[in-house]
Amino acid sequence: MTEILKTIDLISLIMTIVLFGLSSHLIIYFFVSVFLPPKRFKKASEFHRYGVLIPARNEQKVIAQLIDSIKKQNYPSELIDIFVIADNCTDDTALVAKNSGAIVFERFDNEKKGKGYALNFALNKIFEEYKDKEYKGFFFFDSDNLLSKDFVVNMNDAVCEGYKIVTGYRSSKNYGQNWIAAGSGMIYLEQSRLEHRARTKLHTQTHISGTGFYVDYQTLVLQGGWPYKTITEDLEFSHSKVISGQKIIQCFDAVFYDEQPSKLKDMINQRVRWVRGNYICMTMFSLKYLKALFTKRIFAAHDLNMILLPIPLITFTWGIGSSILQIILAIISPEILLSDIIIKLLIFLGVFYGALAFVALVVTVLEWKRILAPAYKKILYIFTFPLNIASYVYIIYRALFKIKGWKPISRSDDVHTIAELEKK
């Protein structure tokens, strides 16, 4: 029996060494993001015309707040056109958006449902009906977003340096609501500060995360609109562009805010969709990334493939399975102490908790001013973040199975303006 335990420990050690080796570049990212300034862009002398695309399904509670924050940008308002796609709405989203000053496209299609279809529908209408506007490109937002007043002018700086796909800095407007909202908010803060920032500084590739990004007009025309239809069409877009050699960077100073799920059920439903979409994209792009890595020596092919590979699924399955096996062996064999197995398991859980809390601590300290919450909550949610992430133990398995239909996320009844948020 002890030989079996030694074999389990050896396999665990080998897996740890391999995983550390494959992800060791994240340590470099960490130090770059902590100690080096972000990539910054020269102040542009030219102001381009942009379109803003907002797909919205039953978002009458929040759509006006986003439109208001776009209209109050420190950028010539006559150079920004706002397009709202009221997609299969059963509420007053279209009316609220029109009254707020947006151009509204209403779409009803019971067969082709989803954000990808809505974006493709709108872009092809714009290509046909607004081609005389000569847009430089489009910004993409979700209905619950709010833009800091310098978002567009900072993005314009990056665009004027020739970048064609740019993601902004994503923060949360309801971080202080509860530990659930804070956990999802921390995920995006960590991405913005420790991942996107480092990749851009090191001149490698990053990716977009669903909202708050820019895409060049000609890039959209050449791909025929938005031909991405998976449940995580943003990931599909990102990986297809990286594979084709197009650059994706971050503009660290282009800050926007979104509303995170504050109910456990909503959070889990959202994350199941994310992970399911990640699995789908893995089947589409992982082999292509491996080919690009070995034939073209593209480092981003390895880096972004690590996002797609089901590493949590493999490690959690091994960890849970081996722990159960060791406990069974301890029960049936007098030569194995159950207390030793339990101590080993507690050490593992402690390391897992400590590592995640450390990441949350670092991000909280570095991004203290950009986290919209009272000081005591910022500190408290450092310690609840690992518990929030523990939900993935269920989510990674649930996502293996097909998801039924679109599930809306509950929106707050609070009315926000960007000025009110940035006073907090």
Q: Which residues pair with 140 in a beta bridge?
A: 53, 213
Is the model's pLDDT at 198 over the cut of 90?
yes
Question: Measured between alpha carbons, how far is 391 from 395 in angstroms, rounded to an integer?
Answer: 6
Question: How would you classify the pairing of strands 213-216 and 137-140?
Answer: antiparallel
Q: At a CB cut-off of 8 Å and minimum separation 6, what does 382 contact?
A: 357, 360, 361, 364
Q: What is the pLDDT of residues 297-335, one digit of tens each?
A: 889 999 999 999 999 999 999 989 988 888 888 888 877
3-state secondary structure of 87: strand
Give domain limits for the chain: 1-424
CB 366 within 8 A of CB 193: yes
Q: Tens of pLDDT along 177-190?
A: 999 999 999 999 99
What average pLDDT score do residues 384-403 get? 94
In the numeric block, the tokens 């820019």 are attached to 214
213, 297 Cβ separation under 8 angstroms: no
In this prediction, what percent of the chain has a pLDDT beyond 90?
A: 82
Candidates 3.40.50.261, 3.90.550.10, 3.40.50.12170, 3.80.30.20; CATH matching 1-424: 3.90.550.10
* CB atoms inside a 10 Å sphere around CB 81: 19
Continuous H helices in 333-369: 338-366
How much is the average pLDDT of 287-292?
A: 94
In whole angstroms, how large is the CA radius of gyration of the chain? 23
Structure tokens at 33: 């993001």
**Which tens digits make up the pLDDT trace of 207-239?**
998 899 999 999 999 999 999 999 999 999 999
Give the mean model confidence (pLDDT) for residues 139-166. Answer: 97
Reading the block at residue 143, the tokens are 């209905």
In the numeric block, the tokens 């493999």 are attached to: 314
Higher pLDDT, 147 or 2: 147
